[in-house]
Amino acid sequence: MNSGFQSWLGQQLDQLKTDNLYKIPKILESPAGGRVKMNGKEVINLASNNYLGLANHPKVKQAALDAIEKWGVGAGAVRWIGGTMSVHQELEERLAAFKHTEAVLVFTGGFTANSGCIPAVLTNQDVVISDELNHASIIDGVRLSPAAYKKSEGWVYAHKDMNQLEECLKKANEKGFAKKLIITDGVFSMDGDIAPLPDIVQLAEQYDAIVMVDDAHASGVLGKNGAGSTSHFDLYGRVDIQLGTLSKALGVMGGYIAGSANLKDWLVNRGRPYLFSTGHPPMVAAALIAALDIMENDPEPMQRLWANTKWWKDALAAEGFDTMGSETPITPVYVGDEGDAQRMERMLWDEGVYALSILYPTVARGKARIRTMPSAAHSQADLEEALEAFKRVRAKL
């Protein structure tokens, strides 16, 4: 082993600890749910993206077990080499119908869907225009492309600022870029607010730009049966590239790109994580089909998700907590100071509530918060108990 490298690693880790940025994941010892066993302790879980409670749903589990019996546990190869099973194909057909798009291509994660799709559709003649709060996987996908995209060159607009977006589009037209791609989260992952997609689409149409929306946190949450922001805003046929995740509300794992048949065809030929990384185990695809069945036919989990969300936000507001304009289940509780947010996370844990502090650099300095995620997996009693814990912890702080 290289001793210089090992000491470099040690120094980097020490620096993270000094900066209070060092993380150790807690160990979940039960299924992901509203109430979990974690690090040996029973806690109310307010940190999961398992919005609809599907990660441990009996029908979804049974579909996975049946698929193991039928198909075994692995796809055996990269999909184009021999790893596309009919169950993978069926999932994509079901998702395309669900999204009202011509076609869907599934990747093994939302992260890989972004890092596979974005560079594949761009050349060095193009420009990407991004919201400043876009997810890390969008940023990495953009960095893998040869297009212009840098904030320092003026291609990142202030959060949801449509005037700045229009300025970017004007400037891009003056500079004569071949393609202009506007990318936004559909629901912003740390603030829980919704992108103004109708305005973005209208500007894109006016300035001849392409729209890509990352619906990781809108999938299963917004729109008809959880079909996402395009459905929520009735923008069918007007968004070129829609990304959805299968890892959050759908409760399993994966990401997909929904769009035209040509878009899918192009990504099958040029999407590098699709081309060079093995496809999902067949049980993943089968479990996802079962999860989709539930989303399409049983409105109850989504109704419970929104009823819990409304109760939780109203209760926090009534107690004077600031939820930062969040409009979706993602509910930040504003703290401000980084040290206070970390203390609050530890005190909540002691009170039996697991919720994470979100700090710089994930959010701006001085805008630290506790991020809470009510879900369909929570009972009313879980949320009432969590609220009492928040009140006790605030009194102590």
The residues that are catalytic are 189, 217, 248
CB of 55 to ligand PLP, least distance (A): 13
Q: Does 217 bind ligand PLP (CB under 6 A)?
A: yes
Task: Out of 119, 141, 226, 255, name the contact with ligand PLP by CB under 6 A.
Answer: 255
| Binding range to ligand PLP, per CB under 6 A, among 20-28, 78-86, 107-115, 163-171 | 107-115
CB of 94 to ligand PLP, least distance (A): 18
Task: Out of 126, 214, 240, 345, name the contact with ligand PLP by CB under 6 A.
Answer: 214
The smaller minimum CB distance to ligand PLP, of residues 221 and 335, is found at 221
- What single DSSP character describes residue 343? H
| Binding range to ligand PLP, per CB under 6 A, among 89-97, 106-114, 205-213, 339-347 | 106-114
Please state, in angstroms and as integers, the Cα–Cα distance from residue 172 to each residue in 189, 196, 200, 295, following that order.
28, 21, 15, 40
| Binding range to ligand PLP, per CB under 6 A, among 104-112, 297-305, 328-336, 340-348 | 104-112
The smaller minimum CB distance to ligand PLP, of residues 50 and 308, is found at 50
The smaller minimum CB distance to ligand PLP, of residues 136 and 261, is found at 136
* Pairing assessment for the beta strands 241-245 and 210-214 based on DSSP bridges: parallel
Nearest alpha-carbon partner for 331 in 133, 109, 51: 51
Q: Does 245 bind ligand PLP (CB under 6 A)?
A: yes
Q: Are 130 and 157 in contact (CB under 8 A)?
A: yes
| Binding range to ligand PLP, per CB under 6 A, among 53-61, 73-81, 214-222, 326-334 | 214-222
CB of 350 to ligand PLP, least distance (A): 28
Q: Are 302 and 345 in contact (CB under 8 A)?
A: no
Query: How many angstroms separate the CA atoms of 239 and 44, rounded?
Result: 38
Residues in region 186-205 near ligand PLP by CB under 6 A: 189
Q: Are 257 and 105 in contact (CB under 8 A)?
A: yes
| Binding range to ligand PLP, per CB under 6 A, among 211-219, 231-239, 350-358, 377-385 | 211-219
Q: Does 137 bind ligand PLP (CB under 6 A)?
A: yes
Query: How many angstroms separate the CA atoms of 33 and 376, rounded?
Result: 9
Count residues contacting ligand PLP (CB under 6 A)? 14
CB of 219 to ligand PLP, least distance (A): 10
Number of Cβ within 10 Å of residue 185's Cβ equals: 26
Query: How many angstroms separate the CA atoms of 268 and 249, rounded?
Result: 25
Q: Are 227 and 98 in contact (CB under 8 A)?
A: yes
| Phi, psi of 95, deg, nearest 5 | -65, -40
Q: Does 109 bind ligand PLP (CB under 6 A)?
A: yes
The smaller minimum CB distance to ligand PLP, of residues 227 and 389, is found at 227
Is 321 in a helix, a strand, or coil?
coil
The smaller minimum CB distance to ligand PLP, of residues 330 and 389, is found at 330
Q: Are 55 and 31 in contact (CB under 8 A)?
A: yes
Residues in region 314-353 near ligand PLP by CB under 6 A: none
| Binding range to ligand PLP, per CB under 6 A, among 1-9, 54-62, 109-117, 333-341 | 109-117
Query: How many angstroms separate the CA atoms of 302 and 306, rounded?
Result: 6
CB of 258 to ligand PLP, least distance (A): 14
Query: How many angstroms separate the CA atoms of 274 and 146, rounded?
Result: 19
**Both tokens assigned to 187:** 């629901």
Burial (CB count <10 Å: 0-12, 13-18, 19+), residue 28: middle
> Which residue is it, tokens 């077990």?
65
Q: Are 34 and 47 in contact (CB under 8 A)?
A: no
Q: Does 309 bind ligand PLP (CB under 6 A)?
A: no
Q: Which residue is nearest to ligand PLP (CB)?
A: 110
Q: Which amino acid is at 295?
A: M
Q: Does 264 bind ligand PLP (CB under 6 A)?
A: no
Binding site for ligand PLP (CB under 6 A): 109-111, 114, 135, 137, 185, 189, 214, 216-217, 245, 247, 255
